[in-house]
Structure 1
Amino acid sequence: MSQPRVSVIVPAYNALPELTECITSAMEQTIGLDQLEIIAVNDGSTDGTGKELDRLAATCPALRVIHQENSGTAAVPRNVALDVARGDYVFFLDSDDYLGPDALRRMVAMADENKTDIVLGKMVSVGGRSVPTAVFRSTQPRTDIFSSAAYRTLGCWKLFRRSLIERLDLRFPPFRNTEDKPFTAAAYLNADGVSVVADYDCYYHRDRENGNNLTLTAQNLSHRMQGTRMCFETVARYLKPGPRRDQIMRRHVEWELCGPLWWLLLRESEEDIREHIYPEIRDWVENWVTDPVIAQLEPRDRVLLHLLRADRFQEVMTVIRDAKKDAGRGHVIDAGRAYWDHPLFRDTAVGVPDSAFDITDRLPAHHRVESVEWQEGGVLRLTGHAYLENVNSQDTVTELVLRCYDADHPEVRVPTRVHAVAGLPDDERHADAGFVADIAPLTAVAGAPLGHGRWNLFLELRTQGISRSVRLKGPGAGRTPSEGITTTGPDGSTDGSTTTTITPYVTKWGNLSLNVGQELPRDDARYRVTEMSWHRSRRGTLVVGGTLAGEGTRDVGALRLRVQNSAGDRREAPVSLNGNGGRFTAHLPVRTLRPGRWTVTLSPPGSSSVAVPHLAGVGRAHWFHLARPYAARPVKAASETTLVMEVHAVDVRRVARRKLRSVVRRVRRHAAA
């Protein structure tokens, strides 16, 4: 019998009617039944779940059914299945959920290609059940728990390399709730890489019709205590004290400690709280909650943790009981900081530090750009308002800040004029929240012009000693000039007198930006880039593919793939059709570019350029020039609309040191295991 690529493990207890769709979704995976084994464990069901599993198994040789007495937890049937699983990978599928048809094929391919131990497939909510979203904002071929949002989701509905599970001798603790979090945490903390599939709906997550999900029925705080302690112990076991441990501990402090206290503690009897729950929670705080962790939390969690540290049982009960009432209290401003005006603020008998009540960086900043208009003399005028919520706009000072994101220009600051404005909430408090900013592009840099590039616009607001910087949004349809202006004067990047086009525009995220001397890419349905990779044999050559539609197919002879830097240097590569269907390919030799950042666009004949988007999965390219190593990589954060490629010389010593540290860490992990 050949070894399957994936073992799909399904714990099932009274799982009808959802069970049939769940198992069928596994049986119909495009990876093929010859690559699968499906292990369904009937955990003493009384509703016909066992018979339905047997019926499905009679139609599918890849489905194996195990019947056992009820254990009261999904952990035990998962462990039973793990003991007999044979796949290279294991995927845990709950009996009330189901898979997208191509889910397992995509996840296995991602793990195989990137040599990662865990793959997260995009989760989709069915019927309003909560699912993680932050980690699925983009596909990530290879990442880790410290540089991604992966650790925010500790459910076990993921693809795990089985050798990782067996190396750690990893099994689920037999708890009714929170049983999967210690398991997933241990796997994350020992994984050699994590992948994220975000461009396909892999896992459909739903509540049962009868409402008997264990997550929903085991809702007492007592059901969570053992699992939460095990989460803390797992992190402490695999991470040494320091910033990395604090980063991971923060997740458990927020979600497993503070969160349940606010909404579950008062469901327990005061005797149980005082005798059992409170001492346990205090022990967690003493052992694993550091000052750097507390500093990152919201004020009410900070206050709660400081009270636990100080062993103030009655105050803990009071702040939880009065949480709703206290949330609506105002704040006090003192020495340029804003503090929550909580009853315990500066209560010397309790001794909670002022820092626990500090809300300065959490005050909402409200702002709006009302108009963007060209004035005489080539001056761009912005008008609008900005204020901090519930902070009187007294002695307000604002300053416009321009930051170029695709060239290495220093930021530019433009003073603004503050004026009275009407029509805002609480008019009297924010009477002086209006501002006017005049940008003179030809003289903005201490009498010199703005350099070529695309500039993001920020507003720095200072009122009553409190400072805040906000990214300006566009003023809305019809209120941003659609046309730029052309000025003649000394150019910011070359000597002499040149003609420069300056265009304000709004990004697809609604942010206001200023384009100076750059051809502004646009979206055009006739030209769609769908594929991007590095050429397998031609070092440092970017391969871009896509489709042409309508009139775009007639332009292919003159269509070019173009790169351009902030100095106006350009390189182009021809585009060629690939047979029928309007598919095209272009090969761009990046290795010929000088170091710096280059914007990548398509250039149709007779019209402005078309944005080439940043596509996930394009890593680095390396090559040698004059015996020196160079590299190129896409920089996603460099542009909100267009692919930016960065070319740079490789610092060999730095790379060697980084690889050595990685080897040392891996050796230490293996030794600890």
Structure 2
Amino acid sequence: MSVKVSVVVPVSEPGPDDDAFDACVRSLLEQSMPSDEYEVIFADDRSGDGTRERLDAVAAVRPNVRVLHLEHTGTPARGRNVGLAVARGEYVYLLGQRDRLERVALESMYRTAAETDADILIGRVVRGDNPPQRAFSRNRERADVLRDRLLGLPTAHKLFRRAFLDAREIRFPEIQPELSEQAFVLRAYLTAKVIAVLADQICCHIAPPPQEAPDPRAYAAGLRAILDIVDTHSEPGDARERLYAHWFRAGVLRLLGGRHLRTDQRGALFIELRALTAERFPEELDRHLPVHLRARAVLLRSGDLGRLVALGEAARGTSVRAELREVAWDEDTLIMDLAVELIGPDGAPVTFKAEGDRLHWTPPVAGFDLPAPLADVTDAVERARMEVYIRHQDHGLIFFIPVHGEVCRAQEGDRVRVWAVGRARLDVATVALGRPLRPGEWEVHVRMYTGAQQARTRVAGRRGAPLSCVGVLAGRPRRLVIPCWSEQRELSVCVEPRSFAESILLVSPGASVTHREGHVFVVLPVPYVPPSGGPPAELVLRQLAGRGRTITVPALVEPGVPGRFPGQLVAKVPVRRLPGEGHLGNGLWAPHLRVDGGETALRFTLEMNRGRARIQAAGEPGALAVRRSTLGRLLARLPGGRYAVRAAHAIQERYLPTPPAS
């Protein structure tokens, strides 16, 4: 049978303990496509860490695996080119040594490529906790490079028709590695007849990009090579100008606002990119840029490195304030009412200067003003928006949630505030591009774009407000879904908790206490109480200091109203001020829920002081600080103490001020 897909993986000394490389290899060997229909080509760059032997051992027992032993070059370009030269597949997929494929990736991508007769098939990729690119908003049989924002997907993680690459002699040039990959993809984009997008199937998980700063001269030379490709394969006009604007934005200006300006090479990088800008990027391109990048362009052309660095540092302080007003169920759909606003480094809302009917952005750098035409953001503010998405904690999958709302404005003097209010509707049966969510915990994130800047954050409940935690049986087949909360009161949605105890653990930051007749009643919300009433449960409290006493009391589960009010678990604990067995005394107590013989540590601590109890959530200001302390080391050795140490560390790092350096 002919080979349908060849996967080429350049390899360079991943090391014997590289879990990501092991996951990459496993993902290739465990594909759902029959092994005689695809091949894997590892192009080894003369690794000296035992990798060659490991790969040879795999190839010895896997007929569809080949290992190419190459001379050392230090870059993946030659390995990719040699792999492309010997590949036998109808299509070729390029993978990095720390990336991994979903099990159905090759089968799904090949089927879609064959159905659409695509020269290039872009299967959905995931990288860290970044929101998905807009190109993946839906499947596309005929995608356009500019209209569908394919330039935002510059890596080689795509299915390429091998005959197409050979006919156009498309190979990886020997330039800076990251730009070599982007030059390969750009040339393929600009010469392909059909580019298709597979959006409703996660295909590849991409490893984080390298963090080292590029060599300034080599980097500038690589950008020139990419611009030469644009000149060769496009005609003068609007399309070419937009291609140039993309590389000016992504290849030059973004580099001058990030970590690379905090390195020793920033001066050399600035000089090289300024020369390249004068040579290839005229001022006419600035109209295609967002306003903060227009400011960088002005400073770059004028040679003002100091203010450019200051502008980058100021932008790093921009954040989002997201107010979660309500969380409620509408049958099987979770409703989240939000108000979202960008906050500047000074803690004040980001505003724009009103001049007549126009709005202008003010650079947050003293002594620097943009010319009015460049500072005008009126049209961009019209496109301001809020976006809400969910991210799987374990797998990194991300999906956008539909949001219906509006952008609001308020004028205060000559300044205008812009914020967004909206209602996000999470339907767990369809939110995954028409499919149900897989089991697990999904974080809820929000991103705000104002027309000048954007930022994102986790959605969190307000301090002091009750945490909604009603669970429902949703979808077909029916599955338990509950809104739940982290130690910092950040919202997630859990699909199919693994047990009754886990469902209570996930919402335990919403615990409360009351006092009555010499007892403390510890009340925990229960997202969903089965018709059977749930299994018998006990609350176990362990003292985190002193004698380390343990108290175990029965817990009564009371049902709520499905879809409207949670049930509750109530435990009655005796209290005395003096130390003694079988009752609560002063100090910190770590709570656990015991169900069916197993124990689950809950997400809070119980503090007793002078006979009065209070819940101490991990995200609560004023919680016990134990970092690098004798008490912290003691707590870590006690049952349940590790949670208290971790909770206190989170509090101290998140809320308490850092002492000034001496």
Contact 1:19 1:49 in 2 (8 A): no
Q: Which secondary structure does the structure 2 equivalent of 1:182 belong to?
A: helix
**Pair 35,277 (structure 1): closer, same or farther in 2 beyond 3 Å:** same
Q: What is the 5 A alignment of 1:464-503?
A: 473=422
The alpha-carbon deviation at position 322 of structure 1 amounts to 4.1
Per-residue CA deviations over 1:127-166 (Å, capped at 9, x if unaligned) read x365743222222233221331322101001100112211
Query: 1:226 aligned to 221, 229, 234, which one?
Result: 221
Contact 2:116 2:141 in 1 (8 A): yes
Contact 1:285 1:305 in 2 (8 A): no
Q: Which amino acid aligns with 2:173?
A: P
Q: Which amino acid aligns with 1:234?
A: I
Counterpart of 1:202? 203
Query: 1:299 aligned to 288, 291, 303, which one?
Result: 291
Per-residue CA deviations over 1:341-368 (Å, capped at 9, x if unaligned) read 3489998xx9x63211113334589999
Q: What is the 5 A alignment of 1:258-407?
A: 258-263=253-258, 264-265=260-261, 267-269=263-265, 272-273=268-269, 276-286=272-282, 291=284, 293-308=285-300, 311-313=301-303, 315-325=304-314, 331-342=352-363, 353-363=371-381, 387-388=408-409, 391-392=411-412
Q: Which amino acid aligns with 1:20?
A: D
Contact 1:122 1:202 in 2 (8 A): yes
**Pair 388,74 (structure 1): closer, same or farther in 2 beyond 3 Å:** same
The alpha-carbon deviation at position 265 of structure 1 amounts to 4.1
**Pair 231,265 (structure 1): closer, same or farther in 2 beyond 3 Å:** farther
Counterpart of 1:9? 8
Q: Which secondary structure does the structure 2 equivalent of 1:65 belong to?
A: strand
CA distance in 1: counterparts of 2:136 and 2:424, whole angstroms: 30
Contact 1:339 1:358 in 2 (8 A): yes
Contact 2:407 2:421 in 1 (8 A): no
The alpha-carbon deviation at position 316 of structure 1 amounts to 4.6
CA distance in 2: counterparts of 1:25 and 1:476, whole angstroms: 34
The alpha-carbon deviation at position 55 of structure 1 amounts to 0.6
Contact 2:354 2:360 in 1 (8 A): yes
The alpha-carbon deviation at position 471 of structure 1 amounts to 9.7
Q: What is the 5 A alignment of 1:106-117?
A: 106-117=108-119
Counterpart of 1:157? 157
The alpha-carbon deviation at position 285 of structure 1 amounts to 1.5
Q: Which amino acid aligns with 1:4?
A: V
CA distance in 1: counterparts of 2:166 and 2:385, whole angstroms: 54
Per-residue CA deviations over 1:644-665 (Å, capped at 9, x if unaligned) read xxxxxxxxxxxxxxxxxxxxxx
The alpha-carbon deviation at position 33 of structure 1 amounts to 1.8
Counterpart of 2:136? 136
Q: Which amino acid aligns with 1:10?
A: V
CA distance in 2: counterparts of 1:222 and 1:365, whole angstroms: 38
Q: Is 2:238 aligned against 1:236?
A: no
The alpha-carbon deviation at position 58 of structure 1 amounts to 0.6
Q: Which amino acid aligns with 2:145?
A: I
Contact 1:100 1:202 in 2 (8 A): yes
Q: Which secondary structure does the structure 2 equivalent of 1:179 belong to?
A: helix
Contact 1:177 1:224 in 2 (8 A): no
**Pair 340,82 (structure 1): closer, same or farther in 2 beyond 3 Å:** same
**Pair 262,275 (structure 1): closer, same or farther in 2 beyond 3 Å:** closer
Counterpart of 1:28? 30
Counterpart of 2:329? none
CA distance in 1: counterparts of 2:82 and 2:100, whole angstroms: 21
Per-residue CA deviations over 1:484-525 (Å, capped at 9, x if unaligned) read xxxxxxxxxxxxxxxxxxxxxxxxx9xxxxxxxxxxxxxx96
Q: Which secondary structure does the structure 2 equivalent of 1:8 belong to?
A: strand
Q: Which amino acid aligns with 1:92?
A: L
Contact 1:365 1:388 in 2 (8 A): no
CA distance in 1: counterparts of 2:162 and 2:406, whole angstroms: 57
Contact 2:9 2:42 in 1 (8 A): yes
Q: Which secondary structure does the structure 2 equivalent of 1:121 belong to?
A: strand
The alpha-carbon deviation at position 222 of structure 1 amounts to 4.8
Q: Which secondary structure does the structure 1 equivalent of 2:55 belong to?
A: helix
Contact 1:131 1:205 in 2 (8 A): no
Contact 2:407 2:420 in 1 (8 A): no
Q: Which secondary structure does the structure 1 equivalent of 2:186 belong to?
A: helix
CA distance in 1: counterparts of 2:255 and 2:351, whole angstroms: 25
**Pair 230,476 (structure 1): closer, same or farther in 2 beyond 3 Å:** closer
Q: Which secondary structure does the structure 2 equivalent of 1:217 belong to?
A: coil
Q: Which secondary structure does the structure 2 equivalent of 1:196 belong to?
A: strand
Counterpart of 1:533? none
Contact 2:353 2:362 in 1 (8 A): yes
Q: Which amino acid aligns with 2:358?
A: R
Q: Which amino acid aligns with 1:83?
A: A
**Residue range with higher mean Cα deviation, 4-13 or 250-259:** 250-259
Q: Which secondary structure does the structure 2 equivalent of 1:172 belong to?
A: coil
Contact 2:310 2:365 in 1 (8 A): no
Q: Which secondary structure does the structure 1 equivalent of 2:156 belong to?
A: coil
- TM-score (norm: length of structure 1): 0.50
Residue correspondences, number: 378
**Pair 7,218 (structure 1): closer, same or farther in 2 beyond 3 Å:** farther
CA distance in 1: counterparts of 2:109 and 2:356, whole angstroms: 53
The alpha-carbon deviation at position 192 of structure 1 amounts to 1.2
The alpha-carbon deviation at position 191 of structure 1 amounts to 1.0
Contact 1:20 1:52 in 2 (8 A): no
Counterpart of 1:658? none
Contact 1:33 1:62 in 2 (8 A): yes
- TM-score (norm: length of structure 2): 0.51
CA distance in 1: counterparts of 2:218 and 2:308, whole angstroms: 23
CA distance in 2: counterparts of 1:107 and 1:78, whole angstroms: 20
Counterpart of 2:181? 180
The alpha-carbon deviation at position 307 of structure 1 amounts to 4.5
**Pair 191,359 (structure 1): closer, same or farther in 2 beyond 3 Å:** same
Q: Which secondary structure does the structure 1 equivalent of 2:142 belong to?
A: strand
Alignment gaps of 5+ in structure 2? 316-343, 387-404, 427-445, 447-473, 479-662
Contact 1:345 1:357 in 2 (8 A): no
CA distance in 1: counterparts of 2:223 and 2:177, whole angstroms: 12
Counterpart of 2:634? none
Contact 1:121 1:158 in 2 (8 A): yes
The alpha-carbon deviation at position 318 of structure 1 amounts to 2.3
CA distance in 2: counterparts of 1:118 and 1:55, whole angstroms: 33
The alpha-carbon deviation at position 53 of structure 1 amounts to 0.4
Query: 1:56 aligned to 45, 55, 58, which one?
Result: 58
CA distance in 2: counterparts of 1:124 and 1:52, whole angstroms: 28
CA distance in 2: counterparts of 1:475 and 1:89, whole angstroms: 40
CA distance in 2: counterparts of 1:102 and 1:59, whole angstroms: 22
Contact 2:13 2:51 in 1 (8 A): yes
Counterpart of 2:616? none
Alignment gaps of 5+ in structure 1? 208-212, 369-383, 395-428, 430-462, 478-508, 510-523, 529-673
Contact 1:122 1:199 in 2 (8 A): yes
Contact 1:332 1:339 in 2 (8 A): yes
Contact 1:366 1:388 in 2 (8 A): no
Identity of aligned residues (%): 26
The alpha-carbon deviation at position 235 of structure 1 amounts to 1.7
Q: What is the 5 A alignment of 1:526-537?
A: none
Contact 1:221 1:268 in 2 (8 A): no
The alpha-carbon deviation at position 66 of structure 1 amounts to 0.8
Contact 2:270 2:305 in 1 (8 A): no
The alpha-carbon deviation at position 317 of structure 1 amounts to 4.1
Counterpart of 1:664? none
CA distance in 2: counterparts of 1:359 and 1:296, whole angstroms: 12
The alpha-carbon deviation at position 124 of structure 1 amounts to 2.8
Q: Which amino acid aligns with 1:58?
A: A
CA distance in 1: counterparts of 2:477 and 2:51, whole angstroms: 52
Per-residue CA deviations over 1:370-393 (Å, capped at 9, x if unaligned) read xxxxxxxxxxxxxx997425x328
